[in-house]
Every structure is written in C-alpha cells, then in structure tokens.
Amino acid sequence: MLARSWIRGAGAISLGVLATAVVTAIVVAPAAQSDTALVQAVVEQAPVAQPARPAPSPAQMAAAARRMAAAEQASRASAARQAIAVRQAAFTRFTLHSPQTKDLRGIERSLYRGRFFRPVAEERRLCIVKRESEGYYDVVNPGGNYFGAYQVSRALAKGATYMMAKEHKALMGASEAKKVLADLRATPMHRWPRYWQDAAFHTIMNWERTMSGAAHWAGGRWHC
C-alpha cells in the first residue's frame, strides 16, 4: 500500500515538474526570440564605421580655391550684365515713352545730356528753338520740307540717326538702338519724341567740335 502510494505521489510530482517546465518553455521561448530579434535589429541599424578620409593635398586645395574664385567672378559678371540691361531698358523707356519726351510743346531745357551736349550750345539751342518753332516740336513749315522744333530737313534728320548710333548703342544696347533709330529714320522729325529731337540737335551742332554745326541754323528771323 505504502509503495503504491509513493509511486502515485512520485508520479504526481513528476507530472507537476513536467507541467512547470512546459509552461516555462512556452513563456520564456517567445521572450528569448523577442530579445534575439531586438539585438538583430540594433545590429542592423548600427552605423557602419567609415574609413577616415585623407586630408586634401595643397594642389587639391588650390584647385578648389580657383573653382570658388571662378564661380564668384561669373556671378559678379552676371549681376553686372543684369544691371546694365535694366539701366538700358529704363533709358529706352525714358527716350520713347516718358511724359517728358512725349510732351511736344514748350521751350524747356534739353532732355539730352549725352556725349555731344555742350552748355554753350544749349544756350544757342534755346534761342534757335524759340526762333524756329516757338517750342512746337510737332510743327512743319508751310513748304512741307522742314520739320520739328529745329526745322530740320529730311536729309539732315536721316543723317542724324546715323550720327547718333554709336552713342546710343552703348546707352540702349546695340539691337534696341538699331531698331529705334531705324524707326526714327522712317519717320518725319516732327513726329519724333522730344528727347530724340534734342539729341539730334546737339549731335549735329557739336559733331566735329563745339558749335561746328552752327551753319545749319545760320539764317532765320533773328540771329542766335
């Protein structure tokens, strides 16, 4: 009896130990697997050590400095070109479309102040414009052969467009100046904007030297 009871007890103990082991295995196994996966993820995400880069040589540093200087120079040149283009466009608008240049009535100071402007010629101009047209820039003489504020012939007006070309290519840009001057060449001077009539006068008057063109306005109702 006693032996059978012991055996049964031992069997119960063995079954209990076995059950505990099974439960422990079930609980511990996923935890172990989870830890393994975590370690694996950390290993995979860990940064890989990169080999140290060698210091640049003096030649490489000099080449880099040259590249930087060239880029800076190109940037400055581009900015300068843009500034010139803006200035030329503004000047073109002034000569063709500003309120001052579109005002064709009145004796005013010359809108032109360029290469051929001379103060002494400006004083003569004020006298001539009063004598020739009373400040009417859009006038044509009764015979129909002299035009504008300075009563200029078609031939002289056409010549003035060529005389003004070099200066205005610099002021407006070559292509724009050629276009504008070609348009003026095909237009009677009394329809030119004020700026261009003033510019033509000073260019003709001072073409070779100061007052060298005064003979073009030698006659008239009174001497200037």
pLDDT digits (tens, 9 = 90+) for 3-32: 334 233 434 333 343 334 333 333 334 444
Res. 35: pLDDT tops 60: no
| Residues in the chain, overall count | 224
Cα diameter, the chain = 163
Among the listed residues 119, 110, 72, 80, the one whose alpha carbon sits nearest the alpha carbon of residue 195? 110
What pLDDT band is residue 37 in, cutting at 50, 70 and 90? low
| CA pair distance 194, 213, nearest whole angstrom | 20
According to DSSP, residue 153 is labeled -
Give the chain's domain count.
Answer: 1
In a domain, 193, yes or no: yes
Q: Is 50 exposed, middle or buried (0-12, 13-18, 19+ CB in 10 A)?
A: exposed
In a domain, 44, yes or no: no
In a domain, 132, yes or no: yes
What digits encode the pLDDT tens for the residues 95-109? 999 999 999 999 999
What digits encode the pLDDT tens for the residues 60-90? 889 989 998 889 888 888 888 899 999 999 9
Q: Which residue has the tokens 């078609």?
A: 154
- The pLDDT mean for the chain works out to 84
CB 115 within 8 A of CB 209: no
Contacts of 206 (CB under 8 A, 6+ apart): 116, 117, 118, 121, 212, 213
In a domain, 34, yes or no: no
Enter the pTM of the model: 0.71
In a domain, 52, yes or no: no
Tokens coding 177: 């100046």
In a domain, 168, yes or no: yes
Kindly give the residue spans of alpha helices, DSSP state H, lying in the chain. Answer: 2-45, 58-97, 99-102, 119-133, 154-163, 165-172, 174-185, 194-205
In a domain, 147, yes or no: yes
Q: Poorest-confidence range of 52-56, 116-120, 123-127, 198-202?
A: 52-56
In a domain, 67, yes or no: no
Parent domain of 134: 99-217
Between 202 and 63, whose confidence is greater? 202
* Residue 135: count of CB within 10 angstroms of its CB: 15
For residue 111, give Cα distances in angstroms to 13, 96, 175, 176, 193: 120, 12, 22, 19, 10
| CA pair distance 80, 22, nearest whole angstrom | 85
